[in-house]
Structure 1
Amino acid sequence: MHTTIPQALTSAVRRDPTTPLLTWYDDASGDRTELSGATLDNWVSKTANLVVDGLGLGPGDTAAVLLPPHWQTAAIALGAWSAGLAVAFPGRPQAVDALFAGVEPVTEWPATDRFATGLLPLAMPLRELPPGSVDYVTEVRNYGDHFRGAPVSPDDRALAGPVELSHLAVMRTAAERAAELGITAGDRVLVDTRAYPDPADWLFAPLAVGASVVLCANLHPAKLDARTLAEKVTVVLSA
C-alpha cells in the first residue's frame, strides 16, 4: 500500500505514462479532456512549483481547494500535496495560505494568496477575475514541468480541518473505500460527479489502488452505455 498521496501518483505515472490516467467529460459544455499520467504529472509539477517558488509555501502550510470535481481540481490538490501542504476542501471556512476557487468571490475563507479558475475547456484563462485573485491557468504555465521538492512523509498532514488526516491515514481510508466501491488495480472507473462528488471516491480511491478515472460532469444518461464502451470502463459509479 502507498503511504503518501504523491507516492501513489508517482506509481501511477511510472506504470505507463502514456495511457489515460484521468479523462474529463462535461456533457453540458461538450468538453472532453484526456490526461495521460505524464500530462497530469506535468500539471501537478507546475502547480507544486507555483506553490513553492511562486508563493514561498511548504510543509506546515495550507491550501484550500474550493472547486468541484474536475481535472484541474485534481492537478491543484495533487500539486499542493506534492509541495508538502495540507489541503482543505469545501466545508467549514478557515484561514489558509493559498486559496484556489472558481469565479465567484470567496470572502469567508481568509487567505494570503488567491487564485481563480473557470474550469474552462482547453484550460482557457478567465476574461474577468474576482477581486484580489490571480488566474490559476495563466500563472501556473510560467513554472517548471518537473518538481524536485523533498519527499512527503506518511505522517505529514494531508487534509486540513475540521477533520485532519495524515497522508498515511488518507491512503488507508482510500484503500478501504476502493474495496467498498469494487475498484481494483487496472480498473477504468467512470464516475458521475453528481452522485460521487467526494474526493474520497473520485480521486483518492482510484489513485490508491492504481485505477484510472473517467470523470463525468452533467452526465447524460443516454450517453452512459456508449461512453462505457468507448472508454473501456470496467467500473461505473453513477446514480
Structure 2
Amino acid sequence: MADNIARVFADAIAPDPARPLLTWYDDATGERTEISGATAANWVAKTANLLVDEAAVTHGDPVGVLSPPHWQTAAVLLGCWAAGTTVADSPGPVEVLFAAADRVTEADAWPAGERYALALHPLGLPLRVVPDGFADYVNAVRVHGDHFGGAPAGPQDTALLTRATARAAQLGIPSGGRVLIDTARHPDPVDWLLAPLVAGASTVLCAHLDPEKLAARTHTEQVTHTLA
C-alpha cells in the first residue's frame, strides 16, 4: 500500500481517469452528480493549491472540515491531505476552516485564519449569499491551478490508511468494485471515502437513502456491494 493518501488517490484513478469515481445522490432533493477520477483530481489539486498558495498552510497545520459526506467534501478532504495538513477531529483553533453553509454557526468553536463556506450545490455552483466572515469556496478555488506539485505525507496519513484498509476488509468492499454507501449509516470519511479508495473501488454515495429506490439504483449503477 502507498504511504500517503495522495498516492492512494492517484493509484485509484490511474487505470481509467474517465471512470466514475463518486456518484452522489440525495433522495431528499432528487440530486444526482457523477464525478470522474479526472474531475475529482482537478478539484483536489485546486483545493491543495488554495491551501498552500492562498491560505499559506504549512506541513502538518490543522484544518477543520465541517461538512457532511458529499462529493465536494471528498474533494476538500483529499485536497487537505494532499497538501500535508492535519484534518482536525474536534473543535479548536485551526489554520483554515471549511464549513457547509448550514454549519457556519458552529464556526465560533473553530477559530481560524481563513474560512471558506461550501454551498454543496449538485453542479458545483457558488453560494448565492456568502455568510459573514467566510469566503465562498467555489469562487476561491476555481482560480487555482489544476495540478498540485505534491507534499510529503501528512501526520495523519499512516494511521488513516491503516484504518481504511482494515475497514475495507471489515465492510467487505471488493477490489475494483462499485460500492453503494448510505451516508446515514457510514458518516465517517474513513468508511465512505478512504476505504473505497484503498480498495480501488468507485462509490455511489447516498444521502437520505430511500429504501424503495435501492433495488433499482443498485441495478442502474451496476453496484457490486451495498453498505446500507
TM-score by length of 2: 0.95
CA distance in 1, matches of 2:12, 2:164: 15
Sequence identity (%):
54
| Structure 1 gap ranges (5+) | 159-166
Alignment of 1:128-167 (within 5 A): 128-150=129-151, 152-153=152-153, 156-158=154-156, 167=157
User: Which residue does the alignment assign to 1:163?
Assistant: none
Are 1:64 and 1:98, in contact at CA under 8 Å, matched by a contact in 2?
Answer: yes
User: Match for 1:97: what amino acid?
Assistant: E
User: Which residue does the alignment assign to 1:121?
Assistant: 122
SS in 2 for 1:236: strand
User: Which residue does the alignment assign to 2:182?
Assistant: 192
Matched, 1:83 2:73: no
Q: Shift of residue 64 of structure 1?
A: 0.6
User: Match for 2:176: what amino acid?
Assistant: G
CA distance in 1, matches of 2:59, 2:28: 38
User: Residue by residue, what CA displacement relative to the aligned partner does 1:47-95 show, whole Å, maximum 9, x if unpaired?
Assistant: 0111111111120211111100001111001001111111124xx3111
Alignment of 1:41-80 (within 5 A): 41-80=41-80
User: Residue by residue, what CA displacement relative to the aligned partner does 1:163-214 show, whole Å, maximum 9, x if unpaired?
Assistant: xxxx112111111111100012111010011111111110111111211110
CA distance in 2, matches of 1:170, 1:55: 24
User: Residue by residue, what CA displacement relative to the aligned partner does 1:144-178 show, whole Å, maximum 9, x if unpaired?
Assistant: 1111133x23xx312xxxxxxxx112111111111
Are 2:94 and 2:112, in contact at CA under 8 Å, matched by a contact in 1?
Answer: yes
Are 2:93 and 2:112, in contact at CA under 8 Å, matched by a contact in 1?
Answer: yes
User: Match for 2:78: what amino acid?
Assistant: L
SS in 2 for 1:223: helix
Alignment of 1:174-189 (within 5 A): 174-189=164-179
User: Match for 1:173: what amino acid?
Assistant: R
CA distance in 2, matches of 1:124, 1:18: 22
Alignment of 1:107-118 (within 5 A): 107-118=108-119
CA distance in 1, matches of 2:161, 2:50: 25
Are 1:94 and 1:110, in contact at CA under 8 Å, matched by a contact in 2?
Answer: yes
User: Match for 2:147: what amino acid?
Assistant: H
Q: Answer with 124-133 or 220-229: which moved more.
A: 124-133
| Residue from 185, 196, 205 that aligns with 1:206 | 196
SS in 2 for 1:42: helix
User: Which residue does the alignment assign to 1:229?
Assistant: 219
User: Match for 2:95: what amino acid?
Assistant: D
CA distance in 2, matches of 1:234, 1:121: 25
Are 1:2 and 1:208, in contact at CA under 8 Å, matched by a contact in 2?
Answer: no
SS in 2 for 1:126: coil
CA distance in 2, matches of 1:139, 1:8: 26
Are 2:18 and 2:36, in contact at CA under 8 Å, matched by a contact in 1?
Answer: yes
User: Which residue does the alignment assign to 2:99?
Assistant: 101
